[in-house]
Chains A and B, each alone.
Chain A
Amino acid sequence: MSEMYVAKYIAKSFAIASRMLGGEMMIMSAVDSTFFTLNPVASVIWQAADGFTPLSEIVTRHVCREFEVDPETAYRDVEQFVEELSSYGILQVSEIPFPASSAAPTEAA
């Protein structure tokens, strides 16, 4: 990814539950019991939100490759999606990697 992008890292918030069901991710916030589902593209990003892989790498490695989208369009869309999830408090965004202990684990399923 080119230098025009500010490095961003994403991690799942801790007070959330998530599980894949039929290709879509179900997410529930323990804070207010809000229930979300993510489409397959968003689910891929969610699963890759490990707190230390740069967002640009997630886009190129997962989104562009799996869904055949050009990197710039994909990055723009993903940034928007990340902002939206962040506004609901279920995803954390940072310009530096998250410490290992603060990032929630990847789903077992």
Chain B
Amino acid sequence: MTLMLEMSQRALDLGVPMSVHFDITYRCNERCVHCYLDHDNHGEMTTAEIKRVLKELAEAGTFFLTFSGGEVLMRSDFFELLEYARYLMFNVRIKTNAVMIREREARRMVELGVEQVQVSIYSHRPQVHDGITKLPGSLRRSVQAIRFLTQQGLRVVIANVLMTTNMRDSAGVQAMARELGVPYTLDPTITPKMDGDATILKLRIPGAELDGVFHNESLVGNVEEFCAPPPRPDEDVMEGYPCSAGHTLAYISPYGDVFPCVQFPLPSGNVRRQKFIDIWKHSSELNHVRAIRAKDLTVCSGCSHVGTCTRCPGLAYMEGNMRGPSTADCEKSFHRTGIRSADMLRKDNDKGRSCAPGPLIQIQSAVA
């Protein structure tokens, strides 16, 4: 077990919120077609409120802090918040589109000891990238910012969200990452909007494209290993937790709402009304999430993929049942291994049943 895994396990055992994803604003200078957020300001927390929350997080034991949004630099107090977070000794990562980062901002991030900056790049082709962000010139500015950041010695990661409009451009973005000397990550997950609107799900890439992604050595490493059939789930798997959401991870919105994860919109409290630690320890919603083991999952507990699936309980929750399957992850497991998930088989059966003619003879026991 690596040192990091050992400490994560300890955090889990002690109930410590080791990682927090903090969206400090939903405002953004881009209007990405796949974004799940509403970009209006409905009353963001003030500088003083956020600082108080950061202090509470430090006291609760949070170590990994991700500042994200919206676009973090839309807040004029961003560097004040960053400076305070570093004063409290958080390991800080920033997710940004980077279009507002120039040399001065890059230098300040290095001076403040930011560990990593993740920049969203959708395509190496300006017309595709800018077509997704709806901000003309955004690819040029984001790439220029990556150069500023790396010249200052900052660790930058390119995040490439794949959707129907850019699904053929991952190799181009990978090549761009190589040229810039930064790591590349790919994510084919499109989630419904925070308000439940699922219309953007039409942007999800089709299954045949997922096959290509999961069998591409440059993206997944050892294809044989990555796409191997799942091993038979043992007791450890069945007694295990689906993911870290609500266990060692929490998400805080710009309005102070606390959720188990950024992809899990189950309102669990608000730091404007309660101390973070009280929400973390006593929220009935978080405790409900924590009580769920793999063996409790309604369909997935009987699925051969249960031990290896990337099943997101947040996506399952958005589909109506946090103990149920997440269709997108069933698709991923299937296209990775070629083995249909329990939920897919169940739906196949239901479909077959609805098409089949009724039984020729119906027999009912005479015993009441």
Contact = CB atoms under 8 A, between A and B. Distances in A.
Interface string A1-33: 000000000000011111111101010101101
A26 B58 contact: no
B291 interface: no
B110 to A, nearest CB: 8
B113 A30 contact: yes
Contacts, number: 69
B59 interface: yes
Contact of B89 (A24, A31, A37, A107): A107
Interface string B292-312: 000000000000000000000
Given A14-B113, A28-B115, A30-B115, A21 B59 contact: no
B113 A21 contact: no
Interface residues of A, number: 23
A109 B58 contact: yes
B57 to A, nearest CB: 9
Interface string B54-86: 010011111100000000000000000000001
Contact of B115 (A17, A36, A107): A17
Interface string B110-145: 000111100000000000000000000000000000
A108 interface: yes
B10 interface: yes
Contacts of A16: 89, 113
Contacts of B116: 33
A22 B7 CA distance: 9
Nearest to B16: A21
23 contacts: A15-B113, A16-B89, A17-B89, A19-B58, A19-B63, A19-B90, A20-B61, A21-B7, A21-B11, A21-B14, A21-B18, A21-B61, A22-B13, A22-B14, A22-B16, A24-B7, A28-B91, A37-B6, A105-B89, A108-B58, A108-B59, A108-B89, A109-B61
